[in-house]
Amino acid sequence: MGGGTFEELKGGGAAIALDEIEISILRSLAVQLLELLGPGEPEPAEDADPLAALFAEGPSEPPSDPALARLFPDAYGSPDGTGDEDVDQDEIRARSAEFRRFTENDLRTRKREDALAVVRSLDGLTPAGDGAAVLELTGELPLRWLGALNDLRLTIAARLDITEDDESAMLFRLPDDDPRKPMVMAYLWLGGLQETLIETL
């Protein structure tokens, strides 16, 4: 098995060989993502109404942190000038707020579970004598990893102020002494992991 890329497992799933440094970096990034997402909802009391959780309301305003705003974007974008000029901006904001109130909590929970799945998968790895360990993802784990890798890339892109338009031009021209270089390298590496994982599914 080649290092650094996911390969298909017989019978379904994906596998990758990771060394100690790669395991440490991935785990650290996933833990930082968990910290960014914040703690989960407290466990409901035994006598709590089970339907109450279904109708619990979340925030109605977008997050102020640019990384969280990238992870939880508005559902309804603003017109770019080429669409219908009659669209009411207040109505768009109201729709976005309403959608966010009833979906963000669930989305945040799912993202937290994806990141936790990455941490737990890595905690179960023990590198062999050559310093590498083979991680096998089966069942729902490949999709959980795919979600977490995507969230990690979105978060780093927000921190680096990367947009899709300037991604390739900016990333490959940074000098080695640029303080953003390690984050850029992590961003590119996560992109390679994400791409090869998608290919196995």
Crossing angle of helices 141-160 and 89-123, in 10° steps, is: 120
- The model carries a pTM of 0.80
Residue range 53-79, pLDDT digits in tens: 555 666 667 778 889 888 888 777 644
Q: What is the pLDDT of residues 18-39, one digit of tens each?
A: 998 999 999 999 999 999 998 7
Model confidence pLDDT, tens digit, residues 165-184: 655 566 667 788 888 888 88
Distances (CA, A) of 13 to 9, 30, 55, 142, 158: 5, 21, 35, 7, 30
> What's the chain's average pLDDT?
81
Percent of the chain surpassing pLDDT 70: 76
